[in-house]
Amino acid sequence: MPHSYTTIWLHVIFSTKDRMPLISPRVEKEIHDHLREQLKELECPVRIINGMPDHVHLLFLLNPNRAVTDVMKQIKGNTSHWINQENIIRDKFAWQTGYAVYSVSQSQVRRVFQYIQHQKERHAKETFVEEIQEFMRVHGMVD
């Protein structure tokens, strides 16, 4: 086969520093759009970005020429710098150091899209901590 073909869907979750509710409805779209632009510059096509005041979920195709750690460093670092430089919010903004990345098979992209799309409804019933613990359990990271 003379060419290489990849389809690497990632579901990424990361929170604001100390899970502070800094992403208000007033600035949410602007922040999500900036994250989308960062991923576009890295040639990582975005399917959806959504979240809550204290965290975001992203579903995108990983550029096979990029390492996940480099993508995360770029989008989180650039976005927090931009938020602070442009005074998008009153408080000093930072993302939490870590993040969660889960691979998504092509057959599950629609399901993950819907999951991310319905974050507001989900979090009316479940906290962010409960959500992350469930992801870790489902993906075999904890018992």
C-alpha 67/C-alpha 36 separation (Å) is 17
Higher pLDDT, 125 or 13: 13
Percent of the chain at pLDDT > 90 equals: 77
- For helices 68-85 and 25-41, angle between their N-to-C axes, nearest 10 degrees: 140
In the numeric block, which tokens belong to residue 46? 């975005």
Token digits for 17?
């520093």
Give the homologous superfamily in CATH for domain 9-138. Transposase IS200-like (3.30.70.1290)
Name the average pLDDT for the chain.
Answer: 92
- Long-range pairs for 123-129: beta carbons < 8 A, 24 or more residues apart: 123/52, 128/15, 128/19, 128/52, 128/54, 128/55
- pTM of model > 0.95: no
Please indicate whether residue 52 or residue 5 has the higher confidence score (pLDDT): 52
Segment 70-106, tens digit of pLDDT: 999 999 999 999 999 999 998 899 999 999 999 999 9
pLDDT band at 1 (very low <50, low <70, confident <90, very high): low
| Percent of the chain residues past pLDDT 70, beyond the cut | 98
Per-domain residue ranges for the chain?
9-138
pLDDT of residue 122: 80
